[in-house]
Amino acid sequence: MFGFYHLELPKSLQSRLHNASDKHRDGSYLGAGLMGVFSSLIVGPCVAAPLAAALMYIGQSGDVILGGSALFVMGFGMGVPLLIIGASAGSLLPKAGHWLNASKSVFGVIMLAVAIWMLERVLAAEIIMFFWAILCIIPAIYLRALDPLPSIDSGWHKLWKGVGVVLLAYGLLILVGLSAGNSNPLQPLKGLSMGATANAQAETSPAFKKIASLAELKQEIQRANANGQWVMLDFYADWCISCKEMEAYTLSKPEVKQALANIVLLQADVTKNTSTDKELLKAFNLVGPPAILFFRLDGQEQGDLRIIGYQDAETFLGQLPKI
């Protein structure tokens, strides 16, 4: 990443594998197969991440036929570009040059963006927003956003300077939004303009009453039923990205809050994943958040209204008339 380190096998082992593959380049099917095996060991780290994701998906499905077919198709797909390049006799291969170093920087920024996205599960929203601002501003400086551009520069240099200016401006907007108390990098200035204050206040998550155990949940359901009210239980965790999406884009909508006005809103925060949290999840056959459950006036869950994962406001509102 940025040339600081390279993820690859040790040079000595690469050399041995390369020499072993050279010995079997005799034009036979066996030689081609062995050369492919050795090559896969050399480039293995490059495909480890997508392969791990595929294995996780296959393991969760528990389907042997699906797993074998998926790995076969994945391997076949990985080989297609090599077949195309080989058939072109090298004419499709780009010439080595400065673009190789530039590509390292681009992928380095992408890796940092993925790291920030993953840190959203454990760090405060304000810290994450600051990281996004830095990730926009620093690459913008390297793209010469602040440097004067000579008239003799090529069109590509002008294009990348334009990209840098856009990144710099957006990074500064994120910092302005952060200083104003905003925590959404996609809408850094939301609520800052005059006349938008009321809308910003309206689009906040509804007030949930926290519950910490199954016994506490039953008490709240009984109390709500006695008042003739349904109950909505929201399973939430700070590290759950979909939970935050539900809060920001669904539950905060004024029309959704109005539809939930006569429903008792409870929330189970399972961020710490304690034994009590696990017991509460297990009681409803849930692996984890996000999940929203609705309970009728008889205290039983309305199973067809159960929501697993993110759901937009329109779809969410479509279910509420059933209550």
Q: What is the CATH number of the domain that holds 285?
A: 3.40.30.10
CA–CA dist 43, 21 (Å, integer)? 14
Tell me whether residue 160 is in a domain.
yes
Do 264 and 292 fall into the same domain?
Answer: yes
Say if residue 221 is in the same domain as residue 309.
yes
Other Cβ atoms within 10 Å of 292 Cβ, number:
23
Which residue is it, tokens 């994701």? 53
pLDDT at 84: 81
Looking at the structure, tell me whether residues 143 and 222 fall in a common domain: no
Report the domain count for the chain: 3
Has residue 193 been placed in a domain? Answer: no
Locate tokens 């939930």: which residue?
A: 260
What are the beta bridge partners of residue 209?
266
Using an 8 Å Cβ cutoff, are 239 and 199 in contact? no
Q: How far is CA 34 from the centre of its chain?
A: 38
Q: How many CA atoms lie within 13 A of 108 on its CB side?
A: 15
What pLDDT score was predicted for residue 21? 59
Write the DSSP symbol of residue 297. T
**188 within domain boundaries:** no
User: Which pLDDT value is given to residue 153?
Assistant: 67
In this structure, are 302 and 273 located in the same domain?
Answer: yes
E strand or H helix at 225: helix 214-226
Determine the pLDDT at residue 194. Answer: 45
Of 39, 64, 87, which marks where a domain is finished?
A: 87
| Listed residues 160, 179, 198: the one ending a domain | 179
In a shared domain, residues 126 and 65 = no
pTM of the model: 0.57
Does the residue 72 lie in any domain?
A: yes
Same domain, 32 and 127: no
Residue 56, domain member (yes or no)? yes
Question: Does 184 reside within a domain?
Answer: no
107 shares a domain with 79 = no
Residues 150 and 220 in one domain: no
φ and ψ of 110, to 5 deg = -60, -40
Nearest to 77 by CA among 56, 47, 104, 52: 47
Residue written as tokens 């551009």? 149
Query: Are 102 and 81 part of one and the same domain?
Result: no
Location of structure tokens 């994943």: 273
Return d(Cα 125, Cα 270) in angstroms, integer: 18
Q: Three-state SS for 235?
A: strand
Distances (CA, A) of 49 to 11, 36, 52: 22, 20, 5
Instruction: Point out which residues pair with 269 in neighbouring strands.
Output: 236
Would 83 be classed as within a structural domain? yes
Q: Are residues 255 and 295 in the same domain?
A: yes
Residue ranges making up the domain that contains 248: 209-322
What confidence score (pLDDT) does residue 156 get?
78
Report the C-alpha gap between 126 and 191 in whole angstroms.
16
**DSSP reduced 3-state for 52:** helix
In a domain, 190, yes or no: no
Burial 42-65 (b: 16+ CB within 10 A, else e): eeeeeeeeeeeebeeebeeeeeee
Please report the pLDDT score of residue 165 as a whole number.
Answer: 93
pLDDT at 320: 79
Q: Are residues 245 and 280 in the same domain?
A: yes
**pLDDT profile of the chain (323 residues), mean per 10:** 63 70 61 68 53 69 81 82 74 68 82 86 85 94 85 77 93 92 81 52 71 93 93 90 85 90 93 90 89 93 89 87 64
Contact by Cβ (8 Å): 199, 252? no
Considering the domain architecture, whether residues 17 and 106 belong to the same structural domain is answered as no
